[in-house]
């Protein structure tokens, strides 16, 4: 427990603890407002649509908010010092080496993906995907008020991406990853010499196709298998949903470009989850964890 | 008998500064907003739900406030900090031990920065949950995403400046990702085929070297103190201006009777 408490109370990690509580609170709070709006004909916000003057009604709120922020920051800055460790030393690598806390979700993904995916491709897709949201979500409902009923898919997807894939992975990466980026439960001793069996296998090996030939060259059949697995994942799931969806009114309104962008982003997110499961689940079932699903001479996924 | 205060209020000096009276009239309340360069960011009137903290959570406003606090404390810190490997850490020690209110200003800068990352994320969360990115506000959401990225970059570049073990290794871990960039990184897919080496790829450009060193410190310093705040300010101007142009804060369209 000592190590866990040490890492949780580290000055630089206080924001994560705060974030955890704030995110849980606001998720509950927004959901409560959404349920209330959903249960009545007019959303609450529509009942408060009479115009009032900014001075003093809004300026007062802003002023109070400013005071509260200053009070919190002043107390925080007086009581807790920002960290200043030993001088920079390029020859002495700390173990574990961690990025700033807001990037630890991405660093955690390095366990499941090679750096070019976890560190470059996924962040780029997240940014582009977020920017695409207003253009692919053409549901006119729920504009300017809290609701759940009217936008279930959009809200559940955002909850999953933000709460699980972003916040929960940050918390896992910060608090439960110790030396060697090994997993430690809160009460465990952070043993820098913890022995972890590296018995990851590739998915092709799981079904009996060795990734490497006896002469250590790449087995072409493993590459082909991986290609068909990845394209099959996107192809089959994409086609399955398309067939189900193409007759609907929503599809006609969306058109093919919006639909396939959404489909690709959604199944891409599912693929990240699939790779996390393929690594974590097999050991529980007594099988080997999966390292790569697709190995090629140039990149591995 | 006229009081001195009353006399002052009627003087040319007073009237040249304060353009209107302060009696509680609708007209004066409106002038209070439009006659003030800072307050006139606001409209004169807004729907009642826009003043409800339960609706807005105030996160966008707090983010802007934190940006102002960070600018102010950041400028103060710049007086005591030299962005060279030789002096940076010593300046930090000096600041933390010998400068009056040095630790207070630095702590405030650090904690406000962390808080800003949180408030930006919560602002985005709220905007999503109220569907405020929907027409006509689509493009303002895109600008918001750019501001989110700029906030991360500002925080990340600032992380290096103390030049201690925590900062160089966090930045080393973060920038190591760049070496794996497809096509442009020497460790990334097709990087080798395109002639990428450790001393000419995208990470080299970012760091000004093959590892986090003195040139990186200077690059991150200039980026942190000048380039990124400038870019962020420009995007913020557009962000705020568009809120007004897109019809103020989002709310249910009450002209339609069905929801």
Q: Encode burial over A77-96: b for 16+ CB neighbours within 10 A, e otherwise.
A: beeeebebeebbeeeeeeeb
**Confidence class for position B1, pLDDT limits 50, 70, 90:** confident
Share of chain A above pLDDT 70, in %: 100
Is there a contact between B49 and A45 if contact means CB atoms under 8 Å apart? Answer: yes
Q: Which of A272, A107, A85, A113 is nearest to A177 (CA)?
A: A107
Query: Does the pLDDT of residue B256 top 70, yes or no?
Result: no
Q: How many CB atoms lie within 10 A of CB B200?
A: 11
Question: B174 vs chain A: nearest CA distance in angstroms?
Answer: 6
Chain A touched by B134 (CB under 8 Å): yes
Q: Which residue of A has its CA nearest to B59?
A: A65
Burial class from Cβ neighbours inside 10 Å (0-12, 13-18, 19+) for residue A14 reads: middle
Residue numbers in A near B89 (CB within 8 A)? 87-88
Do the Cβ atoms of A45 and B176 come within 8 Å?
A: no
Q: How confident is the model at residue A6 (pLDDT cuts 50, 70, 90)?
A: confident
pLDDT digits (tens, 9 = 90+) for B4-55: 988 998 899 999 998 888 889 999 999 999 999 999 999 999 999 999 999 9
What tokens appear for A225 in the block? 């298998």
The predicted model gives A93-120 an average pLDDT of 93
Decide: residue B198, CB within 10 A, 0-12 exposed, 13-18 middle, 19+ buried.
middle
On whether any CB of chain A is under 8 Å from the CB of B101, the answer is no
Q: Which residues contact B242 (CB under 8 A, 6 or more apart)?
A: B137, B139, B140, B143
Mutate to test the interface with A, among B111, B164, B184 (most CBs of A within 10 A): B111
What was the pLDDT predicted at B259? 43
The verdict on B133 touching A (C-beta cutoff 8 Å) is yes
B81-129 confidence digits (pLDDT tens): 999 999 999 999 999 999 999 999 999 999 999 999 999 999 999 999 9
Partner-chain contact A41 B114, CB within 8 Å = no
Q: What is the mean pLDDT of residues A228-255?
A: 96
Residues B181-211 have pLDDT tens digits of: 999 999 999 998 899 999 999 999 999 999 9
Residue A48 reports pLDDT greater than 90: no
Q: Which residues contact A138 (CB under 8 A, 6 or more apart)?
A: A253, A254, A258
CB pairs under 8 A between A and B: 278
CB contacts of A89 in chain B (<8 Å) are: 165, 168
| B contacts of A155 (beta carbons < 8 Å) | 128-129
B252–A contact, CB cutoff 8 A: yes
Q: Is A88–B163 a contact, with Cβ atoms under 8 angstroms apart?
A: yes
Q: What is the mean pLDDT of residues A7-35?
A: 93
Distance of CA B259 to the CA centre of its chain: 36
Q: Which two tokens stand for residue A59?
A: 């300026």
Pair B53, B211: CB distance under 8 Å: no
Kindly state the tokens that stand for A144.
């300017």
Q: What distance in Å separates the CA atoms of residue B168 and residue A40, rounded to the nearest whole number? A: 55
Alpha-helical segments (H) within A116-219: 122-136, 152-159, 169-175, 203-206
Is the alpha carbon torsion for B134, B139, B141, B145 positive or negative?
positive
- ipTM exceeding 0.90? yes
Among A82, A83, A101, CA closest to B73: A82
**pLDDT reported for residue B94:** 97
Name which of A85, A136, A143 to mutate to probe chain B: the one with the most chain B Cβ atoms within 10 A of its Cβ: A143
Of B95, B63, B90, give the one whose Cα is nearest residue B78. B95
Distance from CA of B198 to the nearest CA of A (A): 15
pLDDT-wise least confident of A39-43, A60-64, B114-118? A39-43
Q: Which chain B residues are within 8 Å of A165, Cβ to Cβ?
A: none
| Torsion angles phi and psi, residue A218, rounded to 5 | -70, 135
- Chain B residues with beta carbon closer than 8 angstroms to that of A144: 130-132, 134, 250-253
Look at residue A201 and give its three-state secondary structure.
strand
Cβ–Cβ under 8 Å, residues B150 and B132: no
- Mean of per-residue pLDDT scores for chain A: 93
pLDDT at A122 over 50: yes
In this predicted structure, the answer to whether residue B218 has a pLDDT above a threshold of 70 is yes
- The beta-strand segments (E) located in chain A are 51-53
Alpha helices in B79-223 (DSSP H): 88-97, 102-129, 138-160, 165-176, 202-207, 214-222
Which two tokens mark B250? 């989002």
Q: Inspect the interface and report whether the beta carbons of A90 and B211 lie closer than 8 Å.
A: yes
A24 contacts on B by Cβ (under 8 Å): none
User: Which is nearest to B157 in space by CA: B219, B214, B205, B210?
Assistant: B219
A103, A127, A133 member nearest B149 (Cβ): A127
Angle at B148 between CA B142 and CA B150, to 5 degrees: 105
Q: Look at the block and give the residue holding tokens 């890492």.
A: A7
State how far the Cα of B170 lies from the Cα of A99, in Å rounded to an integer.
4
For residue A23, CA distances in Å to A19, A296, B67, B136 come to 6, 40, 21, 28
Distance from CA of A284 to the nearest CA of B (A): 30
CA distance B125 to chain A (A): 8
Looking at beta carbons, which residues of chain A come within 8 Å of B162?
84
Quickly state the pLDDT bin for A49 (edges 50, 70, 90).
confident
Question: Torsion angle of alpha carbons A172, A173, A177, A178, nearest 10°?
Answer: -140
Rounded to a whole number of angstroms, the distance from the CA of B229 to the nearest CA of chain A is: 19
pTM of the model: 0.94
List pLDDT tens digits, range A67-76: 999 999 999 9
**Domains detected in chain B:** 10-45 (no CATH), 46-245 (1.20.810.10)
For residue B225, the model assigns a pLDDT of 97
**Inter-residue contact A37 to A146 (CB < 8 Å):** yes
B252:A144 CB<8 A: yes
Q: CA angle B156-B161-B162, nearest 5°?
A: 120
């Amino acid at each position: 427990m000592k190590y866990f408490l040490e890492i949780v109370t580290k000055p630089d990690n206080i924001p994560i603890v705060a974030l955890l509580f704030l995110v849980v609170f606001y998720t509950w709070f927004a959901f409560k407002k959404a349920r209330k709006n959903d249960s009545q004909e007019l959303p609450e916000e529509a009942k408060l649509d009479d115009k009032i003057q900014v001075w003093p009604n809004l300026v007062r709120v802003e002023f109070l908010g400013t005071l509260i922020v200053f009070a919190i920051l002043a107390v925080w800055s007086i009581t807790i010092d920002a960290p200043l460790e030993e001088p920079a030393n390029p020859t002495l690598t700390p173990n574990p080496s961690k990025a700033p806390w807001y990037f630890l979700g991405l660093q955690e993904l390095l366990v499941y993906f090679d750096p070019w995916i976890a560190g470059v491709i996924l962040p780029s897709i997240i940014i582009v995907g977020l920017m695409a949201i207003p253009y692919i979500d053409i549901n006119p409902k729920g504009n300017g008020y809290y609701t759940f009923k009217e936008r279930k898919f959009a809200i559940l997807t955002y909850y999953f991406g933000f709460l699980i894939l972003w916040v929960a992975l940050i918390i896992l990466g910060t608090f439960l990853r110790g030396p060697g980026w090994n997993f430690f439960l809160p009460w465990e001793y952070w043993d820098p010499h913890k022995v972890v069996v590296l018995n990851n296998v590739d998915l092709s090996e799981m079904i009996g196709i060795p990734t490497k030939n006896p002469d250590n060259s790449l087995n072409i059949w493993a590459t082909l298998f991986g290609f068909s697995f990845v394209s099959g994942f996107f192809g089959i799931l994409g086609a399955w949903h398309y067939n189900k969806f193409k007759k609907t009114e929503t599809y006609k309104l969306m058109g093919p470009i919006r639909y396939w962008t959404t489909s690709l982003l959604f199944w891409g997110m599912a693929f990240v989850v699939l790779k996390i499961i393929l690594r974590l689940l097999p050991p529980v079932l007594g099988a080997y964890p999966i390292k790569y699903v697709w190995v090629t001479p140039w990149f591995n996924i | 008998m006229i009081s001195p205060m009353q006399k002052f209020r009627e003087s040319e000096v007073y009237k040249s500064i304060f353009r209107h009276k302060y009696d509680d009239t609708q007209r004066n309340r409106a002038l209070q907003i439009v006659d003030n360069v800072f307050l006139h960011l606001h409209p004169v009137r807004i729907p009642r739900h826009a003043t409800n903290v339960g609706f807005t959570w105030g996160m966008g406003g707090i983010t802007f406030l934190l940006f102002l606090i960070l600018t102010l404390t950041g400028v103060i810190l710049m007086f005591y900090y030299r962005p060279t490997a030789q002096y940076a850490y010593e300046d930090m020690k000096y600041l933390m031990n010998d400068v009056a209110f040095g630790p207070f200003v630095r702590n405030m800068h650090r904690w406000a920065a962390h808080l800003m990352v949180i408030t930006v994320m919560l602002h985005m969360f709220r905007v999503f949950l109220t569907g405020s990115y929907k027409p006509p506000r689509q493009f303002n959401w895109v600008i918001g995403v750019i501001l989110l990225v700029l906030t991360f970059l500002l925080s990340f570049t600032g992380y290096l400046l103390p030049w201690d073990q925590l900062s160089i290794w966090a930045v080393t871990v973060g920038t190591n990702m760049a070496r794996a960039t497809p096509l442009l990184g020497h460790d990334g897919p097709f990087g080798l085929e395109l002639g990428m080496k450790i001393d000419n790829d995208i990470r080299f450009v970012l760091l000004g070297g093959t590892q986090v060193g003195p040139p990186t410190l200077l690059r991150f310093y200039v980026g942190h103190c000048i380039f990124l705040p400038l870019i962020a300010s420009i995007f913020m101007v557009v962000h705020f201006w568009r809120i007004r142009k897109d019809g103020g804060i989002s709310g249910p369209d009450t002209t339609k009777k069905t929801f």
